[in-house]
Structure 1
Amino acid sequence: MPIAALSDLAGKAECPLLVIKVGSALLVGKEGVRREWLTGLVAEIAEARARGQQVIVVSSGAIALGAATLGLDKGGRGSLADAQACAAVGQIALSGLWAELLGSHGFTAAQMLLTLEDLEDRRRYLNVTATLTRLLDAGAVPVINENDSVATQEIRFGDNDRLAARVAQAAQASAVLLLSDIDGLYDRHPKEPGARMIPVVEGVTAEVKAMASADSNSGMGSGGMISKLQAAEIAELAGICLVIGNGQHDRPVARVTGEGIGTLFLPCRKASARKAWLGGRLRLKGSLVVDAGAAAALERGSSLLAKGITEVEGVFERGDPVAIVDGAGQVLAHGLSEYDAAECAAITGMHSSEQAAVLGYAPRSAVVHRDQMVLK
C-alpha cells in the first residue's frame, strides 16, 4: 500500500521501513545533550518496532557534542580541522548515547559511519545496502552519521538530510522523516507575513525550489530548506516519500503522524535501482552541454549522440558520471559517459559517420546511452 498521508508513516503495511533523521540542534542544546527529549524519541522508535516497523536512524550531533567537550567555539565548525577533531571526540559520546537508550528497550544499536564516496561509488553503495539489510534482519537499529572526522570540504555530504535520503535509497526504505527545527515547507520564508505551510508536495518543481531558504534557525546544523528539497529529489527517484517535521516538540513522530503537522513529499516517479543511485549522485566529474534538438530527444527517451553536444566541461574518464545540461545551464540528466572528456571534445557536433576517422576506431552507439542515464 502506498503512503498517501502523514498518518501512513505509522502503519506497518504502508511504511515497513522508516528512516528518521535527527538534526544537531534537537540532540544538543545550550546545556548539553537533550537527554529527556531523546529518551522520548527512542520510546517512539520502540513503539514503531512494536507495530512491526523497521527503523533506521540518521543522527547528527557528533560535531556539536565534541565541541562542547573540547571547548571549541562556533559549535566546532570554525574550521575543517576543528570539525574533524570535534567529530572524532563527539562520535564516541553520540554512539554510546544511542546504544544506551535503545538498549533500555531491548534493541541493539549498530553504528555506521559513511562518507560521500561510500554512497557515490557503485560497489561501495551495494556493500552499504548489504550491511543495512543484514543488520535489519538481525533486529538491530542502524544509527548512521557522516564520517566527519575524515571527510573534507570537497568529499562530503555536508548535511545529513541528503545522507538520509541516500541511505533510504540504499535500504529501500518506504519513507524518510527529517526532524528539524521547522514544521515543514512554507511558500516563502516562514518569518514573512502570510507565510503558509505546504502540506503535500507532488514532485520538486522549480516553483517548489523557489520557496526554499538556506537558513538554519539553530545555527548549529548545516542543512537548511534547500538541502531538504535536494533530499526530497533523491528520495523521489527511488519512489520514496519524504517528510519534513518539527522535532522541537516532545514525541515529535507522533506529532507528525497523529496530528498531521508536516510536509509530505510524494514521489511522482520511480526509477530503477541503478538509475535511482545514478540520479541521486552529488558529485559529477563533468558536463556535456547540448543543443535544443538533443534536449528534446532526451525528453523522448533517446540516448545522447555526439551530434547534439555543443561543449564539454570538466575532466572525466569513460564510465564516469556527468551532467547533461542545456545552453542555459539547466541540468537535464545525469549519465555515465561512454567516452573520456578528450574524446567527447574531439567528436562534438559530429555525425557517427565522421567519428571513426577522428577516434581511430568505430564509434560507440552513443556518448551517453539511455540505459545509463536518468532525466532530472
Structure 2
Amino acid sequence: MVAPVTPLSGFLPAQIRRLVIKIGSALLVDPDGQVRENWLRTLVADVAERRAAGQQVIIVSSGAIALGARRLKLPKGGRGSLEDAQAAAATGQITLSQCWASLLHENGITAAQMLVTLDDLENRRRYLNASATLERLMQLNVVPVVNENDSVATAEIRFGDNDRLAARIGQAARADAVVLLSDVDGLYSANPHADANAMLIETIERIDARIAGMADSGSASGMGSGGMTSKIEAARIATSAGAHLAIISGKVEAPLSHWAKDGRGSIFLAAPAKRARKGWLAGRLTVRGRIVVDAGAEKALGKGNSLLPAGVAKVEGIFARGDVVDILTEDGRVIARGLIEYDSDEAARIAGKRSEDIAALLGHLPRSVLVHRDHLAMV
C-alpha cells in the first residue's frame, strides 16, 4: 500500500530520538580502495549537527573488506574466496575504525567500535548483551560504529549485507528509525537504471507482494553485498520492531542535511512495536524448521491463539525443542515465527492430531500446544 509523503522526511531530532545510519562500501570507499574522506567529513558534520540537537546516533559502517583488499593487493575486491574476505576484513577494519574515530573526534565526539556476527544477534542471550552495551554507550554520549565481524564470519553465520545488520542493530538499540544511505535515492516501481519510466515510491505503509516485487537484488558498485532486496528485508525487520526505515541517496555531500531539505527518498512506516521477545523472534534471520498450517490454524493465530497440533498440515526440517521455526500457510506464505515445544520427529507424529490423541501416540503429553502464543510472533 502506498500513501502520500510523510512528515517524517528527514528523520529530524524533534521526531526521532535515536537513529541508526548505515553506510555502504560504495559510498565510503572509492574504486581505488581509498576512503572517500572529503565526503565522509560532510556526513560526520551531519552527525555532529544532529547530536547537538539532541539526537542519539548509531553508525553501521561497511568498508573493511574493500579497504583491506587494496592494502593486501587481493583480487576481486577481496571477495574471491572466504579466506581472502576474512583477511581483507581483519586488515581493513583497523583503517576503517581509525578513520571513524579520528573524524568523530575532530567534532568532539567519542567513538566506540562494535563487531558482531549473525549469531550474536540470533542467540537470545548474546542479543541482550549487545542491546545492553548499545544502551550504555548511548547513556555515555558515545557514537557506536558497528560492523559485521567478517574476519571470523563464515557463510553459515553471517548477515551477508549491512542493510539487515543495521535493522537488527536498530531493534537491539530500540531505535526510532534506521536510514540506509544508498547509491539510489529510494525504492522505485522498476529498476531506474534500466527503465526511464520508473517511479519513486515515497511512503510505504505495508510491505506486500507488490512492494517486494519491485526489488532488484543486484549491487551496482561491485563492492557491496546488498541490493534493493536486502533493503526491503531490512525494512521488514525494522518496521516490525516499531522503527521507521528510510532509503535515501548517499551520493551527495552532507546526505542527511540534503535529505532534511528536499525529503527525497522512500520511507517504510513502522508497525506497532511488538514486545521485546516477540520483536527479536520476528527479526531473526535463521530458523531451524517450517510448520505448514491449515486455514483454521491461520485464523486462530491471527486472533492471538497458540498453535495446536490439530491445525498442522506438514512439518519440515530437523529441529529440537526450543528452536525457532517459521509457520507457513499451505500456499507458502510465512505468517509467524516461534519457539517450538517439540522435537521435529515428535512434531511430525502429532501433526493434525487432537490434543486428547497425542498421549496415546507419544506415551505422554508434556505440552498441549506446538507453539505457545507467548513465544510466537506474527510477521
Same fold, judged at TM 0.5 (above): yes
1:125-164 correspondence runs (5 A): 125-164=127-166
Cα distance in 2 for partners of 1:266, 1:101 equals 32
Aligned to 1:34: 36
Answer yes or no: is 1:280 the counterpart of 2:283: yes
Cα distance in 2 for partners of 1:287, 1:183 equals 36
Asked if structure 1 preserves the Cα contact closer than 8 Å seen for 2:8 and 2:15, the reply is no
Partner SS for 2:314? strand
The partner residue of 1:369 within 369, 372, 378 is 372
Cα distance in 2 for partners of 1:246, 1:27 equals 13
Question: What percent identity do the matched residue pairs reach?
Answer: 57
Change (3 A) 1:6 1:219: farther
Task: Please state how far the C-alpha of 1:206 moved relative to its aligned partner.
Answer: 1.1
Answer yes or no: is 1:328 the counterpart of 2:331: yes
Letter in 1 for 2:21: I
1:298-313 correspondence runs (5 A): 298-313=301-316
Aligned to 2:66: 64
Q: What's the TM-score, normalizing by structure 2?
A: 0.96
Aligned to 1:348: 351
1:1-376 correspondence runs (5 A): 4-7=6-9, 9-11=11-13, 13-31=14-32, 32-190=34-192, 191-376=194-379
Task: Please state how far the C-alpha of 1:356 moved relative to its aligned partner.
Answer: 0.7
Partner SS for 2:109? coil
Partner SS for 1:55? strand
Q: Would you say how many aligned residue pairs link Structure 1 and Structure 2?
A: 373
Asked if structure 1 preserves the Cα contact closer than 8 Å seen for 2:292 and 2:328, the reply is yes
Q: Structure 1 unaligned runs (5+)?
A: none
Letter in 2 for 1:60: S
Q: CA RMSD in A?
A: 1.3
Letter in 1 for 2:74: L
Asked if structure 2 preserves the Cα contact closer than 8 Å seen for 1:355 and 1:363, the reply is no
CA distances 1:240-281 after superposition (whole Å, capped 9, x unpaired): 000001101101111212210111110233211111110000
Cα distance in 2 for partners of 1:339, 1:156 equals 27
Q: What's the TM-score, normalizing by structure 1?
A: 0.97
Asked if structure 2 preserves the Cα contact closer than 8 Å seen for 1:334 and 1:375, the reply is yes
Asked if structure 2 preserves the Cα contact closer than 8 Å seen for 1:184 and 1:263, the reply is yes
Letter in 1 for 2:330: G
Task: Please state how far the C-alpha of 1:370 moved relative to its aligned partner.
Answer: 1.4
Cα distance in 2 for partners of 1:329, 1:7 equals 35
Letter in 1 for 2:156: E
Task: Please state how far the C-alpha of 1:8 moved relative to its aligned partner.
Answer: 5.1
Q: Structure 2 unaligned runs (5+)?
A: none
Letter in 2 for 1:320: D
CA distances 1:110-138 after superposition (whole Å, capped 9, x unpaired): 00000001101111111001100111111
Cα distance in 1 for partners of 2:288, 2:337 equals 11
Task: Please state how far the C-alpha of 1:209 moved relative to its aligned partner.
Answer: 0.3
Asked if structure 1 preserves the Cα contact closer than 8 Å seen for 2:6 and 2:203, the reply is no
